Chain A
Amino acid sequence: MAKIIVVTSGKGGVGKTTSAAAIATGLALRGNKTIVIDFDVGLRNLDLIMGCERRVVYDLVNVIQGEATLNQAMIRDKRTENLFILPASQTRDKDALTPEGVEQILNNLKDEFDYIICDSPAGIERGAQLAMYYADEAIVVTNPEVSSVRDSDRILGLLGSKTRLAEQGKEQVKEHLLITRYNPHRVDHGDMLNLNDITEILSIKLLGLIPESEAVLRASNQGVPVTHDDDSDAGQAYADTVSRLLGEDVPLRFHEAQKKSFLSRMFGGRR
């Protein structure tokens, strides 16, 4: 039975799709059969980040409306074994998603996969609520910045009330905090919220911390999830995040400012 994990945030542009792609890739690299689903109907982007935009024929909405089968719409990732992508529709509007349709797709995928990653659209409207509704766990992506933290708190409120688990009243969706675009230098200067402040305000457990990194833009430029760039800080930070998601106890990295060595300052070692 697959575990359904929603990657959500409320605010846009904080790194939901980057994180969903990187975490799905990491899970697949660790041998888990994984599918990542784009719920952002009308503004799909996951296919670009995963580098499969030219292979999209059918999408989530086609499957819900019975115009294609799930197998026709799923795209097998070329780089990573065990990894599949289900793209969102670019042309339809978000009302094309129905709770029954989404439930049926997830039920069909549940037996075949170990992990189903739902990449939520921004906002707290229908698309975002459908992406989280059937989730077992949630990864709340947050930037160290006031509006992002506030929106994350709003999303936590919805996770606690507008999900299937919450409505059944038996158990809660397991909530994880993923802080992205963290800049330890700015934190040291007192110009950026530090990770303890954020975890304290939101009072959920920290799953991972991704430093602000040049590798992220480089990865999206190329359409290769940043997890594959295992020399980069962001790539390693996502790999750590995946390990923790799998229950391993991995110490936090990249949260302290590194003093640049004399040599790297001279030669500008950037990576």
Chain B
Amino acid sequence: MKLLDFLKRERKKSASVAKERLQIIVAHQRGHRGQPDYMPMLEQELLEVIRRYVSVDQDAVNITLDSEDDCSILELNVTLPNSKDDT
């Protein structure tokens, strides 16, 4: 039975794994493209401030900068942990 499973199992080709990984990382990189150089620092410092009050994960904070015609919008999304666990 095990041998049959082994034979039937189609090994995922490494090239398609590479493609999937690249699509994700490139999409992420492009999200940061064209943003001001201070953004990573800003993100880091905001995270530090939030952490003084609530313990959140590194990836619980999501910052995006959108530019429209004559203004830019800085959007800050923080996923806070359930307040019951926090006490």
Contact = CB atoms under 8 A, between A and B. Distances in A.
Query: Is B truly associated with A?
Result: yes
Interface residues of A, number: 19
A32 interface: no
Nearest to A150: B25
B52 interface: no
A190 interface: yes
A190 B13 contact: yes
Given A153-B29, A197-B19, A202-B26, 18 more contacts: A145-B18, A146-B18, A146-B21, A150-B22, A150-B25, A150-B29, A153-B26, A157-B30, A161-B34, A189-B13, A190-B13, A190-B16, A191-B13, A191-B14, A191-B15, A194-B15, A201-B19, A201-B23
Interface of B: 13-16, 18-19, 21-23, 25-26, 29-30, 33-34
A192 interface: yes
Contacts of A190: 13-16
B60 to A, nearest CB: 25
Contacts of A150: 22, 25-26, 29
B57 to A, nearest CB: 25
A193 B18 contact: yes
Interface in A133-176: 145-146, 149-150, 153-154, 157, 160-161
B27 to A, nearest CB: 9
Contact of B15 (A161, A187, A201, A202): A187
B3 to A, nearest CB: 23
Contacts of B16: 190
B15 A146 contact: no
Contact of A146 (B22, B29, B30, B33): B22
A21 to B, nearest CB: 29
A201 B26 CA distance: 7
A157 B25 CA distance: 14
Contacts of B23: 201
Interface string A125-139: 000000000000000
Contacts of B18: 145-146, 193
B62 to A, nearest CB: 20
B10 to A, nearest CB: 11
A201 B18 CA distance: 11
A150 B19 CA distance: 11
Interface string A168-207: 0000000000000000000101111110010001100000
A9 to B, nearest CB: 15
Contacts of B13: 189-191
Nearest to B32: A157
Nearest to B19: A197
Nearest to B14: A191
Contacts of A154: 29
B18 to A, nearest CB: 5
B22 A157 contact: no
